[in-house]
Structure 1
Amino acid sequence: MRNSTIKFLILIAVLTFASLGFTSKKETNVLKNNIEIHNKSPKLVTVLPIGEAKTEEAPIPYTGNKYLGFKEALAFKESQGNYFVVNTLGYLGKYQFGKGTLEMIGIYNPQAFLHDPKLQEKAFEANASRNKWILRKDIKRSVGKRINGVLITESGILAAAHLAGPGSVKKYLRSGGSQGFADAYGTTVKHYMKKFAGYDVSSIKANKKARVS
C-alpha cells in the first residue's frame, strides 16, 4: 500500500512538471505570430484623424531658437516629425504640404515627394523663402506689435503662413486680427503666431521665385 502511494505521488509530480515545462503547439504558434507581428516594419503611410488638433498637444521638443529649432518645432506640430504621414485631407509628409503648394515650388509628383525626406526638407526651405518674400512688407510693419494679445514675431508670421498660406496671414495682420483663419482641424493663425514666436529665422532669405531644383 505504501509503495503504491509513493508511485502515485511520483506520477503526479511527473505530470505536473510536464505541464509546466512544455508549451502546447497552439501556444507555440501564438508566440511565433506575436514575434512576427512585432518584428514587422511599420507601414510607410499613416493617417492623422480629423479632430486631432482638439486633443491635448504633446510638448514640442526644443532644438534651439534658430532655423533648425523653428522648422523641427513646426514639423513636430504638423506630423510629429514623420516624413511618411498623409492626413485625412491629403496633406503630405513631415511638414504637411498640400499638392497646390508643392506645385508652386516645382514639385509635381506627390508620391515621390512623400518617399523622399531630402526633397521634403528642400520644399520647406523653398516655401518659407517664398512666404517671406510675399510677407516682407507685413513683417516690417507688424513685428513687435500685439494683435489679439499675441506679440507678433517674424517666426510666428512664417509659421502661420505655413499653416494658412501667406494671403490669409496678410488679411489677419492688416485687419488687426479681425479676419481670422482656422484650418479643418480648428487650428488658427493666432495659435501659430503665439506657438512659434521668438525663433531667429533671419537665415531664411526672401525669394519670390524660390523653387526646389
Structure 2
Amino acid sequence: MIRNLVKITVLPFMIGLLSLGNISEKEREFTKTEDFSQYSTEGLDLFYTAPLPEETLQDVIPSYFPLALTGQMYIGFKEALAFKESQGNYFSINTFGYLGKYQFGASTLDLIGIKNTKNFIKNPALQEKAFLLNTSRNKWVLRRDIKRYSGKWVGGVKITESGILAAAHLAGPGSVKLFLRSGGETSFNDAFGTSIESYLRKFSGYDVSFVQAVKRPRLGDIW
C-alpha cells in the first residue's frame, strides 16, 4: 500500500522534471525576464492625466498644498456647499438671477472685483477663485464671532467655523452676526426658505483653516 502511494506521488513529479528538459530554446527565450534598463522615456511627450473637470485646483490652491484635501477639509467643504447650491453646476442661473456653481449674486461678485457676470458664468476657474475670495472676506468679517462662538450652542445649533462660513455664503456675514449675537433670536431665510440654522448644521465640522481671513480680497490675491 505504502509502496504504491509512493509511486503515485513521485511519478508525476519525475515526469514534470523530465518535461523541463524538453523546453525549446525559443520557449526559454520567450519566458526569460526582459531587462528594461536600456529603455528611457526621456524626451518623449507623455500625456497620461486628464484635466480635472473644474480645471482650477492648481489656480486656487498653492502648488505646495496637497491636492488630496477631500472629506472634511476645504475641498470637501466647498464641494458639499456647491452641491447644495446648484448640484455643482457651473452654468446654473436660478430664477432669482444667482449665478454658477456657488450661486453668487452680482453685488457679492462686485465686492471682490468681478464686474462681468456673462464672463463669470462661462468661466469655472473664475468661479472657484470667487468662492475662495468671498470665503476669505467672510472669514475676516466674522473672525471675532468665529473665535467667540465656535464650540458653543446658539439657537439649538452647535457652532463651528465651517458652519459660520457656509451660513455667511447663504445669508451674508451681517445676518450671521445678528443670529449669533442675538442668541439665535434673529434669523434669516433666503427666497427658497433655507435658513441660517440649516447651513450651520449641515456644514459643521469641516477643517477650513486653509482659508485665510482677508479684509479686502481681490483676484490678484489668488496664488
TM-score normalized with structure 1 length:
0.70
Selected match of 1:118 from 106, 115, 125: 125
Query: Is 1:202 the counterpart of 2:202 in the alignment?
Result: no
Q: Show CA shifts across 1:164-185 (max 9, x none).
A: 0000000000000000000000
The equivalent of 2:182 in structure 1 is 175
- 1:136-155 maps to which residues of 2 (within 5 A)? 136-155=143-162
The equivalent of 1:99 in structure 2 is 106
Larger Rg: 2
Give the gaps of 5 or more residues in structure 1: 1-62
In structure 2, distance between residues paired with 1:150 and 1:167:
18
Per-residue deviation at 1:211? 1.5
In structure 2, distance between residues paired with 1:73 and 1:160:
13
Q: Show CA shifts across 1:180-200 (max 9, x none).
A: 000000000000000000000
2:219 is aligned with what amino acid?
Answer: V
In structure 2, distance between residues paired with 1:211 and 1:188:
29
Give the 4+ runs in structure 1 shifted more than 4 A. Answer: none
Give the gaps of 5 or more residues in structure 2: 1-69
- 1:13-32 maps to which residues of 2 (within 5 A)? none
Per-residue deviation at 1:148? 2.0
Selected match of 1:73 from 74, 80, 93: 80
The equivalent of 2:26 in structure 1 is none
- Structure holding more helix per residue: 1
Per-residue deviation at 1:65? 0.2
In structure 2, distance between residues paired with 1:64 and 1:210:
26
In structure 1, distance between residues paired with 2:96 and 2:219:
24
Q: CA RMSD in A?
A: 0.6
In structure 1, distance between residues paired with 2:219 and 2:184:
32
Aligned to 2:93, what secondary structure does the other structure show? strand
The equivalent of 2:199 in structure 1 is 192
Identity of matched residues, %: 66
Q: Show CA shifts across 1:101-150 (max 9, x none).
A: 00000000001000000000000000000000000000010001111221
In structure 2, distance between residues paired with 1:207 and 1:183:
26
TM-score normalized with structure 2 length:
0.67
In structure 1, distance between residues paired with 2:218 and 2:165:
17
The equivalent of 1:132 in structure 2 is 139
In structure 2, distance between residues paired with 1:176 and 1:104:
29
The equivalent of 1:86 in structure 2 is 93
2:108 is aligned with what amino acid?
Answer: T
